[in-house]
Structure 1
Amino acid sequence: MHQGSLETDSEDEIPPAWEERVTFEGKVYYANHETKATQWTHPTTGKKKEVKGELPYGWERKITDEGVVFFIDHVHEKTTYTDPRLAFAEEKKDPIIGFRQKYDGSSTALSVLQGRDLSDQYVIVTGANSGIGYETVRSLSKHGASVVLACRDMVKANDCVKDIQKENPMAKVEAMFLDLAKLSTVKKFAENYLAKDRPLNVLILNAGVFGLPYSKTDDGLETTFQVNHLAQFYLTQLLTELLIKSSPSRVIVVSSESHRFTDLNRNNINTSKLSPSYAQYSDLKAYNLSKICNVAFSMELNRRLRSRNVTSLSLHPGNMMSTSLQRNWWLYRLLFTLVRPFTKSMQQGAATTVLCAASKELEGIGGLYFNNCYRCPASEAACDPVLADKLWTLSENMLEDCLSHAPS
């Protein structure tokens, strides 16, 4: 095989001993034959580059039994290890820098989706029988997406399906049972969805509880932590291979600005802090802690799966909106009622979720946190990869412990 580099019209000359190469995914990297080192940035300009699009006419990509990629030019009867698209490599810019803020806190989910055709998208939304979840399903289905409402209350969920189909007879929506307070139903839901033999392009983890008095689930964990984080972490794990198979795909995690108001960090995270006892419990602290778990989990999920074309984003939907979240204590219901005239509608609340789930500008982009339809920094702790990795390991261990003690 001919191993020489193709000539390019690039202004960036490669210094002696360096070679320009490209990964299977199209990312350009540079190899130094003297030091045996590789790097993503051009050794002279510091730029990052990528190749896109199809191979030129007459070219074919092949892979040897050892996994080595090579290219055949059938027109000129040449073979090379060098991707011919390198001749047209483009500078890779941070995609989020070019992300224009078209929408804000007053935008609605339907305005965000204007002009989008989602007829090839398969979506699951947890906690979808009311509030933001319902508006998320309604909006996505209006644009052709096939959506599953993953809900505990099947009466309400089926009523939602009827309402959506009454408004839009073409809507492809269905309800499936999922009770996040029971890990056995999470497994059963995943099995039932996988049995349908359909893709999964977007998984929206929207369900959540707030203001609960202290209680434990049947799995022996504090309820807010299990429902808001651990059960949805488990659901994602069970559906990960399908997400990869359906890629490009996205996981969208609905968190809250409340994630900033917790002392969870890499030094104090442990199982008793995540799932506290009655004596240690505070409903607001438990909620805030579950919300930083949401963001940290989304960041870590993106780090682990982005190379397999699965990305993850987290978001804050809006402040103190009148959803069913506050149903568990009269004081919260009163407070939310008083501020209702000054907060977002459900359509506005669903806008950021829908943007993260369906925006073309966010294709291939993950590991970010959004508020009011735009990227904003998450808390320092939520972005700490050490904390996120520890949370991931603890979550797996807690799941393993619960599942090993579950009745057969």
Structure 2
Amino acid sequence: MASQGVLDTDSEDEIPPGWEERVTFEGKVYYANHESKDTQWTHPLTGKKKEVKGELPYGWERKISDTGVMFFVDHVNEKTTYTDPRLAFAQEKKDSPLDFRQKFDGSSTALSVLLGRDLSGKYMIVTGASSGIGFETVRSLTLHGANVVMACRNIEKSNFCVEEIKKGNPKANVEVMYCDLAKLSTVKQFAEDYIKKDWPLHVLILNAGVFGLPYVETEDSLETTFQVNHLAQFYLTKLLTDLLVKSAPARVVVVSSESHRFTDLNKSNISASKLSPGANKYNDMKAYNMSKLCNVVFSNELNRRLRSRYVTSLSLHPGNIMSTSLQRNWWIYRLLFMIVRPFTKSMQQGAATTVLCAVSTELQGIGGMYFNNCFHCYPSEAATDPVLGDKLWNISENML
């Protein structure tokens, strides 16, 4: 049996000659001194304690030899080692569950966030998954074994995306199901069809969004930006809530934007007519900003209502201006995005924060937080107002 040797560690965690880093079956990291034959829980140089969490990386398996020795098999690369591969991703032990340490930033990619993760057996739904950040989110998650349903309105385009994903990963577990957020009847049908499959639902990623639309009413007689960006995804979450609870621990991830800070929506002026105004009061940018505030407010309110049932919710800004399909609706926006494109994130970088919120083991059981560039930061004051959250929830239910 050929051994790969001890996996590399970060430079600040280098251990002195004669020492070896090991891990117990329970995930506690300890250090063995081959000269003195002693072991200890703390790093011999930094004095820190570390631990490994979660499953083995995708494609790995733990085995026990006939003599009782534990070893690990990498089925992807057809190699074996006596070293637990999770050691490469060991984390410093936290003093508090809310002590979230910054490991990634605006330049991180979704695949770097997922490095070492095995998502086999995890079932996820991603709305708006046929292009841009949504597509990269799905591609990255399926590369690590997740079962992902793409909730999309353009079936032909979505099936092409599936073909592209399977070119790089023939074993990808990905499926397309029809869901047009501008038609609430299809949202209901999607939820019913998913529930009929008798699958669990561990992560619901509300990624879909529209931007820069002229005034258009949906078939439900609501302003389109508000319905697509908030109300329809609120409805989808409501319809799938029982399944999320049954599958708990589960998460809802809501893709918002820093634009949520630039709206006057608050607990004193919120109303159905303000959220979904008529043509004479409509402004495309104001509508977008307001819908993005609704995303963060909804996420926080959902977390307050479901956290006791082990369903948490997080919201996020994926990154500064990115060239996605969002800007397709007006030539001025397309021109602006084309000009700034050399200075923006790639889609892989744009998907990183979504993926972090969806699968980070450090965020297990923790919700009600807002992330930007993979970093926990504070949203606007209105976004954290529980009174606004309660009012938005009740108005949304009444509109439905």
Q: TM-score, normalised by structure 2?
A: 0.76
Question: SS of the residue aligned with 1:382?
Answer: helix
Q: Identify the residue that residue 149 of structure 1 maps to in structure 2.
A: 150
Aligned pairs for 1:125-274 (under 5 A) are 125-274=126-275
Instruction: State how far apart, in whole Å, the 2-side matches of 1:203 and 1:219 are.
Output: 24
CA deviation map 1:11-31 (0-9, x unaligned): xxxxxxxxxxxxxxxxxxxxx
Which residue of structure 1 aligns with residue 277 of structure 2? 276
Alignment-mate amino acid for residue 244 of structure 1: V
Percent identity, aligned pairs only?
Answer: 75
Cα offset, 1:93, TM superposition: 5.3
CA shift, 1:134, in A, is 0.1
Query: What's the offset of the Cα at 1:262?
Result: 0.1
1:59 corresponds to? none
Q: C-alpha separation between the residues in 2 aligned to 1:137 and 1:220? A: 32
For residues 143-190 of structure 1, what are the alpha-carbon distances to aligned partners after superposition, in whole Å with 9 as ceiling and x for unaligned? 000000100000010000111011101100010000000000000000
Aligned to 1:45: none
Shift in Å, 1:118: 0.3
Q: Secondary structure at the match of 2:382?
A: coil
Q: Distance in 1 between matches of 2:105 and 2:307?
A: 27
- 2:164 is aligned with what amino acid? D
Deviation at 1:292, TM superposition (A): 0.2
Q: Match of 1:279, SS?
A: helix
Indicate the residue corresponding to 1:338 in structure 2.
339
1:398 aligns with 2:399: yes
Structure 1 residue 111: Cα displacement: 0.3
The 1:267–1:94 alpha-carbon spacing in structure 2 relative to 1, beyond 3 Å, is farther
SS at match of 1:123: strand
Root-mean-square deviation over aligned CA pairs: 0.8
CA distance in structure 1 between the partners assigned to 2:95 and 2:151 by the alignment: 38
Give the Cα–Cα distance (whole angstroms) in 2 for the partners of residues 305 and 185 of structure 1.
25
Q: Distance in 1 between matches of 2:186 and 2:352?
A: 29
Q: Secondary structure at the match of 1:149?
A: strand
C-alpha deviation, 1:120, in angstroms = 1.7
Aligned to 1:64: none
Tell me the residue number matched to 1:40.
none
The AA in structure 2 aligned to 1:228 is N
User: What whole-Å deviation, never above 9, does each CA across 1:288-324 have from its counterpart, x for those lacking one?
Assistant: 0000000000000000000000000000001110000
SS at match of 2:281: coil
Partner of 2:97: 95
Cα distance in 2 for partners of 1:118, 1:365 equals 19
Partner of 2:325: 324
| Corresponding residue of 2:72 | none
Structure 1: how far apart are the matches of 2:205 and 2:180?
A: 15
CA distance in 1, matches of 2:353, 2:122: 18
Deviation of 1:280 after TM superposition, in Å, equals 0.5
Measured at CA, do residues 277 and 94 of structure 1 come closer, stay the same or move farther in structure 2, by a change above 3 Å?
Answer: farther
CA drift at 1:123: 0.3
Provide the rounded CA distance (Å) in 2 between the counterparts of 1:233 and 1:378. 20
**Runs of 5+ consecutive residues of structure 1 not aligned to the other structure:** 1-91, 400-408
Q: Which residue of structure 2 lines up, in the alignment, with residue 15 of structure 1?
A: none
Amino acid at match of 2:379: A
Structure 2 letter corresponding to 1:95: P
Residue type of the alignment partner of 2:326: L
Tell me the number of residue pairs that the alignment of Structure 1 and Structure 2 aligns.
Answer: 307
C-alpha distance in 2 between matches for 1:151 and 1:357: 19
The whole-number CA distance in structure 2 between the counterparts of 1:312 and 1:204 is: 10
Gaps in structure 2 of 5+ consecutive residues: 1-93
The equivalent residue for 1:307 is 308
Q: CA deviation at 1:96?
A: 2.5
